[in-house]
Amino acid sequence: MGGIAAIARQLGHQVSGSDQHVYPPMSDQLDQLGIKIHQGYDADPLHDNSLDEIIVGNVMTRGMAATESLLQNSLKYSSGPQWLGEQVLRHKQVFAVAGTHGKTTTSSMLAWILEDNGINPGFLIGGVCQHFPQSARVTDSEAFVIEADEYDSAFFDKRSKFVHYHSDVVILNNLEFDHADIFKDLAAIKTQFHHLVRTIPENGQIIVNGDDENLAAVLKQGCWTPVVSFGSDSTSDYWVATDRCNPRRFTIHSQSGTEVTIEWSITGRHNQFNALAAILAARKAGVDIQAAAQSIAQFQNVKRRMEWIGETQGITIYDDFAHHPTAIETTLAGLKAVTEGRTIAVLEPRSNSMRAGAHAQALPQALSGCDAAYVMIYPDMDWDEDIKQKLSAQCVVLDSVDALLNRLKADLKANDQVVFMSNGSFDNAPRRFLKCLEK
């Protein structure tokens, strides 16, 4: 919604919004754009008679004062995805990045490749890429890169956001169960992904993770668009091989004999897959693989994606957005492969699915690759006691950020690599811990 607000402002609209607990980097971006934020979801902002349209985010539910006022007063409204699709994307060549993990990073990679090759794309990304001053923009270019989320559109539109986007080129990164608050099971998510597939024209392209059986099942339901696959071996059209001596170097191979080697600063094999997907998508904008590879070698990661916060007393601190067990496991494995010290995970289960315990069973395995783990389980999280006991046997379990910082200060030592993981603000824990150590 912050990105949509930025686009609306760029198109010349006067924009304001309502939210609560807004935190950086998005709060900083909105402030720089002069977009005022009303704190809370009361109806006061809707009493402005000059309002032309209300764009409703999916945080809004029936029973909220703003929602009830919106309906009672017959105001004009639409969902964010619907407004974006009608006002911006219908007129563009849309590059959409979908999947359970890696959407923000892959979208940022693709936008950067296009930018570095003179295409000047528009984009809407759910994070702040360090190559761009904002998370969203509209340009004169035909190309538009969008992070295509499967979450529902609004309280009145339970279709996934991505069906509104008029997508031409779609990356399908992976598909796992998530968003337990809106999806009953994995089959329900597969249905929404197939709704996306149904919207892609036959002159477009689907770039799919060939290792993912769930995505294969989605395409088997029907596909009317050319498909290019990527993966870990030659069963896909394109694949990556990681250098055994240098985990930050990998080579792209193809069935036709392509070999392109990339060395970069990013960690994790999952990010090598993200890069390959972005490189393949860029071809539809006229960027060849060699040129795209040269661009991706310069890629700087997105804020809050293994973002380096600082180092003091020999302890290095990162802030990361990982919030699904698979993402947690691959992120920790990527860091461990390139460092000699201990890898320490500090996890706040923040997403609706995590807080509800939907992924709790998988957390012990996800955290098994690190040297020590600290998990926040707050009093209002009604998790199964067996899971709590299992985690307590493997990890340090805490119920407040203050207790966490004190425990970390006592436990950590020089050469430790500490990754704070949350898709919320985490009460600014990474930066607070850095200041605590510096004092």
Domain borders along the chain are 2-79, 82-296, 307-438
On the question of pLDDT at 423 being above 90, the answer is no
pLDDT greater than 80 at residue 252: yes
How confident is residue 84, by pLDDT bands cut at 50, 70 and 90? very high
Burial of 62 (0-12, 13-18, 19+ CB in 10 A): exposed
307-438 has which CATH code?
3.90.190.20
Comparing C-alpha atoms, which of 125, 116, 117 is closest to residue 96? 125
Task: Note the CATH architecture for domain 82-296.
Answer: 3-Layer(aba) Sandwich (3.40)
Measured CA to CA, the distance from residue 78 to residue 139 in angstroms comes to 23
Tally of CB atoms within 10 A around 189? 22
- Which pLDDT value is given to residue 180? 65
What average pLDDT does the chain have? 89
Is residue 219 pLDDT above 90, yes or no?
Answer: yes
- Tell me how crowded residue 181 is: count the other CB atoms within 10 A of its CB: 13
Which token pair is 34?
């002069």
Please provide the CATH number assigned to the domain covering 2-79. 3.40.50.720
- 126, pLDDT greater than 70: yes
